[in-house]
Amino acid sequence: MEGLLAVVLLLVLMGLGVPIAWSFAGVLAYLAFIYDADFNTLMLQGFRSVDSVILIALPLFVLTGYLMQSGGIASRLVTFIETLVGKRRGGMGASMVLASGIFGAIAGTATAAVASIGTIMIGPLEQRGYPRGYSSALLGISSLLGILLPPSITMILFAVVTRQSVAALFAATVGPALLLILGLIVVNRLACGRLFQEVASDAMKGATPLPSRGVATWRALPALSLPFIILGGIYGGVFTPTEAAAVAAFSAIVIGFLVYRDQSLKSFYRSVIAASETTGSIILILLFSFMIGRILAFERVPQDLTEMITTLVQNPLMILITINAFLIIAGAIMDDVSVTVVVAPLFLPLMVDTGIHPVHFGAIVACSVVIGANSPPVAPILYMACRIGRVSIHKTFSPALLLIALVGLPVMLITTFVPELSLFLPRLLGFL
């Protein structure tokens, strides 16, 4: 009961506007008081948990995302993809989905994709007849591909708190990501002509003509090389995920300063400061969550939660549906970091008892974040997409819920009930 009260307290503090890291600190203080925990021991265990080589990849991938925004990498990617698919029916929306996917495969975070891809594409989408509310909803959901496509910061955090292989978790979310991309492109194509009328690119007045495919490809080659270098290096055994993060950051610096020359010392400084602030907040959340996890584990809260759910729901199928529903609700109220480092470890023992592999559960959690981060009442990614798109959130909820119902939820259910979708690639690569 105390564990559930702790989750409720966390939600209340976040709802009151308390910064996420200090909301975790409040929950820690509550649990330490209830269970009379020794803070000296907790701090020692917390710092030992944060002292991880894997976590070094976190600030480096975050920095890579910010450098891609300021170094001109995102704009070249968008132009390249638009020359490939932009002239077809629904091509402009498909361009945003694919651009978000490729960008997320390098930056590993949804917020970077929203800021970069949204700033570049919302205006042109409106010129092509896409309503801003629909475009912002599509941006919000497609930006979450940064969580599913490796390298993913969310999966790095899941690996740290559950002691799983980072490379295996990276591979586990590739199948759901490809399924999500395909679903978004198909639904977007069906929406053109039904929800709105798309304007042909040739009919647009005053629009900047796109370069030829050859020119766009040549300009985008340095940017396109990043995911091949990172993922090829990891799965080829050339370097670890942490070393890959360092290579990605260094490559983004070289491309921004020397290749595209869009990066300046001022923008580089701003990127470093922004990455430092983001990383500092995540590390504080991790520190407090590790200490909370120690208290809950010592008091056998996860085991008690497992017994309670299995007593109420004994069918394994219903248990999976219950956990799916809980993860979606948690994701609609909390951010992806909070869901990953607090809620996921609580349910991991239950998932293992039900026969779910921890790596498979990681893919389920990632899919739940895609839905939760775009679902009211909190919908952090959707709100950010609305700010970028300069549109009222009320005009975005309806298309967002439609995309979630037709694409997001089916992908999560398929990932849950077809384990091979997320386990095939890790097994093929020898990680399981």
Alpha-helical (H) ranges within 355-393 are 358-372, 380-389
Alpha-helical (H) ranges within 128-173 are 132-143, 145-148, 153-162, 166-172
Q: What is the pLDDT of residue 205?
A: 47
Measured from the Cβ of residue 64, the count of other Cβ atoms closer than 10 Å reads: 30
Q: What is the pLDDT of residue 163?
A: 84
Q: What is the pLDDT of residue 210?
A: 64
Residue whose C-alpha is closest to residue 248's, from 63, 28, 13: 63
Burial of 303 per CB tally in 10 Å (0-12, 13-18, 19+) = middle
Cβ atoms of residues 386 and 119 within 8 Å: no
What amino acid occupies position 70? S
Q: Which residues contact 46 (CB under 8 A, 6 or more apart)?
A: 287, 288, 290, 291, 294
Cβ atoms of residues 217 and 123 within 8 Å: no
DSSP state at residue 341: I
> 353-357, long-range: CB within 8 Å, 24+ apart, which pairs?
353/306, 353/310, 354/316, 354/319, 354/320, 355/316, 356/320, 356/419, 357/419, 357/423, 357/432
Cβ atoms of residues 183 and 101 within 8 Å: no
Ordered DSSP codes for 5-63: HHHHHHHHHHHTT--HHHHHHHHHHHHHHHHT--HHHHHHHHHHHH--SGGGHHHHHHH
Token pair belonging to 421: 């979708």
377: phi then psi, degrees, rounded to nearest 5: -90, -25
Q: What is the pLDDT of residue 305?
A: 66
Measured from the Cβ of residue 41, the count of other Cβ atoms closer than 10 Å reads: 11
Q: What is the pLDDT of residue 284?
A: 81
Token pair belonging to 94: 């498909």
Q: What is the pLDDT of residue 377?
A: 63
Residue whose C-alpha is closest to residue 253's, from 124, 72, 94: 72
The residues pairing with 192 across neighbouring beta strands, listed in sequence order, are: 196
Q: What is the pLDDT of residue 86?
A: 60
Per-residue pLDDT of the chain (432 residues; tens, 9 = 90+): 565 677 677 767 766 777 777 887 888 888 888 888 777 777 887 777 777 776 777 788 778 878 877 787 777 877 787 777 766 778 888 888 888 887 777 766 777 777 777 777 888 788 888 898 899 899 888 888 888 888 788 888 888 888 888 889 989 999 999 999 999 999 998 888 777 877 765 544 455 566 777 888 888 888 778 777 777 777 777 887 778 888 888 988 998 898 888 888 998 999 889 888 878 877 887 788 778 777 776 777 666 766 777 777 778 888 888 888 888 877 776 667 777 877 777 788 888 888 889 999 999 988 888 888 787 666 777 877 887 788 887 888 889 889 999 999 999 999 999 999 999 999 988 887
